Amino acid sequence: MNTQRIFSDYEVVIGLEVHVHLDTEAKLFTSCPVSYGAEPNTRVSEVCLALPGTLPVISERAVDRAVRAALVTQCKVHPISVFARKHYFYPDLPKGYQISQFEEPLATGGHIEISDPEDASRHLRIGLTRIHIEEDAGKSIHDQALAGSEVTLIDLNRAGVPLIEIVSEPDLRSPEEAVTYLRTLHRILRYVDVSNVDMEKGQFRCDANISLRPHGEVRFGTRTELKNLNSFRSVQSALHAEIIRQAELLEGGGEVVQATMGYDADRDRVFVMRLKENADDYRYFPDPDLIPLRLSPTRIDEIRDSLPELPIERRDRFCNLFGLSTYDAEVITSSRPLADFFEDVLAIGGETADFAKTVSNWIQRDVLGALRDRDLDIETSSLTPDALVELLRMVEVRRVTVKSARDLICELVVSGGNPEDLVEQRGLEAVSDSSILDTVIQEVVSENPDAISSYHAGEEKSLNFLMGQVMRKTKGKAEASTVRTFLIEKLKVGPT
Amino acid sequence: MRDDPGNRPPTAMELQNMLAEGETTSAQLVEDALSRAKVSDDLGIFVSLREDSAIKEAQASDRFRSEKKARSRLEGIPVAIKDNIAIAGEPLGCGSKILDGYISPFSSTAVERLRAFGAIPIGATNMDEFAMGSSTEHSIHGSTRNPWQRDRVPGGSSGGSAAAVAAGVVPIALGSDTGGSIRQPASFCGVVGMKPTYGRISRWGLVAFASSLDQIGPIAHTAEDCALVLDCIGGSDSRDSTCLPSGSTDCYGALNAGLENLVIGLPKEYFQSTGVDAEVLEKVYDAVKHLEEAGAELREISLPHTEYAVSTYYLVATAEASSNLARYDGARYGKRSDAARSLVGMYEGSRSEGFGEEVKRRIFLGTYVLSAGYYDAYYRKAQKVRTLLRRDFEEAFLECDVIATPTCPEVAFPLGSKLDPLAMYLSDVFTVSANLVGVPGVSLPCGFKEGLPIGLQLLGQAGDDAMPLRIAHEYQKTTNFHCAVPPGVAP
Amino acid sequence: MSETEREKLIAELEIFLDYVDQLEALQTDDVDPTYHVTSLETPMRSDLPGQPLSSEYALGNAPDRRGSAFAVPKVIEADDEG
């Protein structure tokens, strides 16, 4: 079925629930350490195992991270929120209930601005219904080796890891918007150190609710829930597949049935995991082992003050202070370490608009490329702000050619070092000494009389040829523009 | 010294003096306790004994003492611990099949502190399964018997601990109280039992029944001994979010402050209740009059919502219990059903086979009370009535310093006589309010009916654990109900 | 749970609910529920990770295990990983 037609016939309504592992060393309600990839049940405490007589005590840092996430998404942080027990029986849920929040969550009513995937100049505001704190469950290990066996294995290392659940309003209208929202959220959470959001480690997990309705209809259609979407790509593909499935169903006169769906990436297919005939009764009630979470205004302010500058704020500041274009500023502030690096460079080399523009150009054109090629980040590379400033200064005084400098960037990124030393070692000093240049030009001119003639006859191309010859003789250590100037000067003199 | 110690089992204080004077050793005391425990096996008091460990600890205690390093007034004293309070390396069964064979890898805070002060746990005492019951008849180990009359119940759920003290096996024991489970058996067994202010003692290591009601507490012959234990095991604990942040109490230091100017409130709803045995009422009146003669003032007060307390209690307690017991599924520990071929089978089989009738009943009730559609009418409503009860007590305490009531409407009933669950629940009427409201309560013996002990209950304001103990102590200076010895119990 | 057991429990439940219905007589519209009798400041822990339990303790009471994982009878339906 043609997706364009679907979108013209129906309005797609998507809401996303994202579970994020908070960046803490210990678990939410016990000081058991958090780790990934450890042997099963080697990161568990009595509390994680729900042994008789155990009790929860909440982690201050987890609360702090959760409040950060709420502040950074413009939510209202509630001074009192309540932990509730959510009951269901499953072997990876040791207590037989999950400690979560229900009627009184940590935060409600925020929003995230994303750029419209259809039109980069437009922004969409996606509402957030709520953010609440909860603990993660353990894992059922479905080992290939056990296929056909009588047992499932349970690993409780992950049980009790601190999570926030971020629930969006059903404001998203396409899979592309959904992915943009996820990427934006992902970036923001990383930016303010709420979480490392490493999707491969399961630190950022997404469930999607999706329904279709005719345009203009205010009531929502029946929705299905897509679970276990563990990459941005699978979110997009799964949503697409489900949209088509629902549309075909509706076109055929059928009805969408509420269900929990999974996505098979290999076959690009959605499938029903569980029909949801009745809502599960989780028998929520306030956890009597945990008194309500009380956050004073002072505390919330302290957390707000401890927030690093947000991407948008920093971008605007770079525009205002350094005169960068919005586009340039966005690229530079796309990651906090990169933005930090940029500011460090300017702090050393001078906070002028010109220098800022220069640095921005070099970062975008060369540094980022070099990082990408070698799969590095600015923080894992060996390029220091000092080195970049040094290098740019050398270019400015023509001590080294632009081309040489660009090559050096790659080296500095990978192995670090001092540009001054490197230039000396490699003999990359630009040839700008006019006497040397003069000698070389003189040589080239005398060796290529035909080129001279054709130049004088009006062939511009010959100039390029002659330049190439000079560059070759100087092993690229002459600044192209300088060579050009000298050559033209020389050739004016006329045939000798 | 109030009475001839040779006539009755010694208190912890008396034993401490003997140890200090060199008249006995801890090793001797522990051996005596262990042999008494075995001799009174027919009373069904203990479910397990930790002989080797206890003897070793006793020897170590004697060494400390010889090096002049006695750690407290509890140094070297044998104690009994209810089977729902964890001791590292020991079985923690809660009277239940589903935890049969389970060994706890950690100790409760209460036991840790007892041991740090030199007391020596000798074993685990019998109890109603998961603390649900008022008679210690609901245990896989069988019933515990009342040392005063062996065809009677000792009360519950801490029946084993109360009997251990009454039968002279140990001078002090720990129990737990959710709706009266320390005070009622103390009353039936003629000993002193205390439920502290909620949050006074850490619940870390206490197997949860109803989290907002549970408290560990001491059982002993005297208020003095109870004060000692309370001061030792109470106080802030970073492992329990509901534990009060203040340090340990000094109830022992406040014991002798006397009765002058104290007002004792007598709630008319308790004394005018039709279900109370006439003799019980008479003896309790005698007791409060005795306190009046000693300098206190008596005043009639009202706790108007008393008649709703049992409903409120059972709605809240069963709801919380159904949740707290959800973890017992045979997956990671405890008994897994042999019939578990499927996952559902594991849950249903293990829980169906592992839980006794009373536990199942309460889980069933509790699950219902929390279910969608009924939550507001039952659980939420009950928690609101709880607020009304709190207000009753707050207002009552504007007019008095302590509240006195009978602990139970009756004396120990015969084994197997209370088959109707609701009738059993209703007998908790005088004790449940203290748990719902969080105030401290002490039960002490104040008389006998046909050879069976009667208990006087003293309730203090939340946080004022010293007050009821002080009044009980004063009472025990000039009476000797706590010195009576059950037949067949040798000193 | 057998059928007779279930029926008995249901009958007892009804008796119990009849009794607790007495609470309906109380006017509680303006009353806040007491979920906790203490009004403490939220106690919190620092983020210092402690020592996890050794395998011996963690699995010491396990009815069934494979290596260091707990073994339970197979989950029949396709489960949620989340």
pLDDT in tens, A313-348: 888 899 998 889 888 998 898 888 899 999 999 999
Q: Give a yes or no: residue B120 inside a domain.
A: yes
Mutation pick from B370, B378, B379, B380 vs chain A, by most beta carbons of A within 10 Å, is: B370
Tell me the pLDDT tens digit for each residue of A83-106.
Answer: 999 999 999 999 999 999 999 999
Name the catalytic one among B61, B82, B158, B187.
Answer: B82
| Contact residues on chain B for A85, CB-CB shorter than 8 A | 323
- In angstroms, the CA A400 to CA A109 distance is 56
What is the reported pLDDT for A301?
A: 95
CB nearest B323 (choices: A91, A97, A152): A97
Q: What is the mean pLDDT of residues A12-25?
A: 97
Q: What is the mean pLDDT of residues B417-435?
A: 90
Q: Give a yes or no: residue B35 inside a domain.
A: yes
B427 labelled catalytic: no
Q: Are A48 and A32 in contact (CB under 8 A)?
A: yes
User: Which chains form contacts with chain A, at 3 or more CB pairs under 8 Å?
Assistant: B, C
Q: What is the mean pLDDT of residues A165-179?
A: 96
ipTM over 0.90 threshold: yes
Q: Give a yes or no: residue C61 inside a domain.
A: no
Average pLDDT score, chain C: 86
What is the reported pLDDT for A495?
A: 52
Average pLDDT score, chain B: 95
The percent of residues in chain A predicted with pLDDT above 70, rounded, is 96
Q: What is the mean pLDDT of residues B277-283?
A: 96
| Contact residues on chain A for B211, CB-CB shorter than 8 A | 288-289
Indicate whether A147 pLDDT > 80: no
What is the reported pLDDT for A134?
A: 98
What is the reported pLDDT for A8?
A: 86
What is the reported pLDDT for A494?
A: 54
Indicate whether B444 pLDDT > 80: yes
What is the reported pLDDT for C82?
A: 37
Distance of residue B289 Cα from the nearest chain A Cα, in angstroms? 40
Separation in Å, CA C32 to CA B387, B390, B405: 7, 11, 28
Indicate whether A253 pLDDT > 50: yes
Q: What is the mean pLDDT of residues A22-27?
A: 96
Question: pLDDT grade, residue B1 (50/70/90)?
Answer: very low
What is the reported pLDDT for A426?
A: 78
Q: Give a yes or no: residue B332 inside a domain.
A: no
Question: pLDDT grade, residue A493 (50/70/90)?
Answer: low
Q: What is the mean pLDDT of residues B166-192?
A: 98
Indicate whether B63 pLDDT > 90: yes
What is the reported pLDDT for B345?
A: 84
What is the reported pLDDT for B417?
A: 93
Mutation pick from C32, C39, C42 vs chain A, by most beta carbons of A within 10 Å, is: C42
Q: Chains A and C: how many Cβ contacts under 8 Å?
A: 130
Question: Which residue would you say has higher pLDDT here, B175 or A467?
Answer: B175
Question: pLDDT grade, residue A479 (50/70/90)?
Answer: confident
Question: pLDDT grade, residue B333 (50/70/90)?
Answer: very high
A165-204: b (≥16 Cβ within 10 Å) or e: bbbbbbbbbbbebbbbbbebbbebbbbbebbbbebeebbb
Cβ distance of B343 and A91 shorter than 8 Å = yes
Residue C18 domain boundaries: 1-26
Q: What is the mean pLDDT of residues B333-360?
A: 89
What is the reported pLDDT for A401?
A: 83
What is the reported pLDDT for B423?
A: 84
CB nearest B103 (choices: C61, C73, C76): C61
Question: pLDDT grade, residue B491 (50/70/90)?
Answer: low
The percent of residues in chain C predicted with pLDDT above 90, rounded, is 61
Question: Which residue would you say has higher pLDDT here, B307 or B3?
Answer: B307
Q: Which chain B residue's Cα is nearest to A48?
A: B332
What is the reported pLDDT for A148?
A: 63
Tell me the pLDDT tens digit for each residue of A100-146.
Answer: 999 999 999 999 999 898 887 788 999 999 999 999 999 988 665 65
Q: How many domains does chain C have?
A: 1
Question: Which residue would you say has higher pLDDT here, A189 or A148?
Answer: A189
Q: Are B170 and B155 in contact (CB under 8 A)?
A: no
Cβ distance of B326 and A51 shorter than 8 Å = no
Mutation pick from C39, C61, C74, C75 vs chain B, by most beta carbons of B within 10 Å, is: C61
Query: Which of A177, A234, A243 has its CA nearest to residue A205?
Result: A234
- In angstroms, the CA A125 to CA A185 distance is 12
B35 labelled catalytic: no
| Contact residues on chain A for C35, CB-CB shorter than 8 A | 82, 286, 288
Distance of residue A349 Cα from the nearest chain B Cα, in angstroms? 52
Indicate whether B340 pLDDT > 50: yes
Distance of residue C46 Cα from the nearest chain A Cα, in angstroms? 6
What is the reported pLDDT for B72?
A: 95
| Contact residues on chain C for A156, CB-CB shorter than 8 A | 70
User: Which chains form contacts with chain B, at 3 or more CB pairs under 8 Å?
Assistant: A, C
Main-chain dihedrals φ then ψ at residue B179, nearest 5 degrees:
-145, 15
Tell me which of 1.10.10.410, 1.10.10.350, 2.60.40.420, 3.40.50.150 is the CATH number of domain A434-492.
1.10.10.410
Residue B183 domain boundaries: 5-266+396-483
The percent of residues in chain A predicted with pLDDT above 90, rounded, is 59
What is the reported pLDDT for B5?
A: 46
Question: Which residue would you say has higher pLDDT here, A374 or A430?
Answer: A374
Q: Chains B and C: how many Cβ contacts under 8 Å?
A: 127
Token reading at A122: 């437009």
Highest mean pLDDT among A55-64, A409-418, A472-481: A55-64
CB nearest B371 (choices: A156, A283, A289): A283
Question: Which residue would you say has higher pLDDT here, A485 or B487?
Answer: B487
Query: Can you say how many angstroms the Cα of residue A58 is from the centroid of all Cα atoms in its chain?
Result: 29
Indicate whether B471 pLDDT > 90: yes
User: Which chains form contacts with chain C, at 3 or more CB pairs under 8 Å?
Assistant: A, B
Indicate whether C80 pLDDT > 50: no
Q: Give a yes or no: residue C72 inside a domain.
A: no
Least confident of B2-11, B38-47, B192-201, B462-471: B2-11
Assign residue B36 the CATH number of its domain.
Answer: 3.90.1300.10
Secondary structure of chain B as H, E, C letters: CCCCHHHCCCCHHHHHHHHHHCCCCHHHHHHHHHHHHHHHHHHCCEEEECHHHHHHHHHHHHHHHHCCCCCCCCCCCEEEEECCECCCCCECCCCCHHHCCCECCCCCHHHHHHHHCCCEEEEEECCCHHHCCCCCCCCCCCCCCECCECCECCCCCCHHHHHHHHCCCCCEEEEEECCCCCHHHHHHHCCEEEECCCCCCCCCCECCCCCCCCEEEEEECCHHHHHHHHHHHCCCCCCCCCCCCCCCCCCCCCCCCCCCCCEEEEEHHHHCCCCCCHHHHHHHHHHHHHHHHCCCEEEEECCCCHHHHHHHHHHHHHHHHHHHHHHCCCCCCCCCCCCCCCHHHHHHHHHHHHCCHHHHHHHHHHHHHHCCCCCHHHHHHHHHHHHHHHHHHHHHCCCCCEEEEECCCCCCCECCCCCCHHHHHHCCCCCHHHHHHCCCEEEEEEEEECCEEEEEEEECCCCCCHHHHHHHHHHHHCCCHHHCCCCCCCC
B82 labelled catalytic: yes
Q: How many domains does chain B have?
A: 1
Secondary structure of C27-69 as H, E, C letters: CCCCCCCCCCCCCCCCCEECCCCCCCCCHHHHHCCCCCEECCE
Q: Give a yes or no: residue B271 inside a domain.
A: no
| Contact residues on chain C for A207, CB-CB shorter than 8 A | 82
Tell me the pLDDT tens digit for each residue of A260-291.
Answer: 999 998 888 999 988 876 668 999 999 999 99
Residues of C with CB under 8 A from a CB of B: 1, 5, 9, 12-13, 15-17, 19-20, 22-24, 26, 28, 31-38, 40-43, 45, 53, 57, 60-64, 70, 72-76
Question: Which residue would you say has higher pLDDT here, B420 or A25?
Answer: A25
Cβ distance of C70 and B332 shorter than 8 Å = yes
Q: Give a yes or no: residue C13 inside a domain.
A: yes
Does A153 contact B at CB distance below 8 Å?
Answer: no
Q: What is the mean pLDDT of residues B100-120?
A: 96
Does B92 contact A at CB distance below 8 Å?
Answer: yes
Cβ distance of C40 and B244 shorter than 8 Å = yes
Q: Where are the domains of chain A?
A: 3-278, 310-426, 434-492
Cβ distance of C49 and A31 shorter than 8 Å = yes
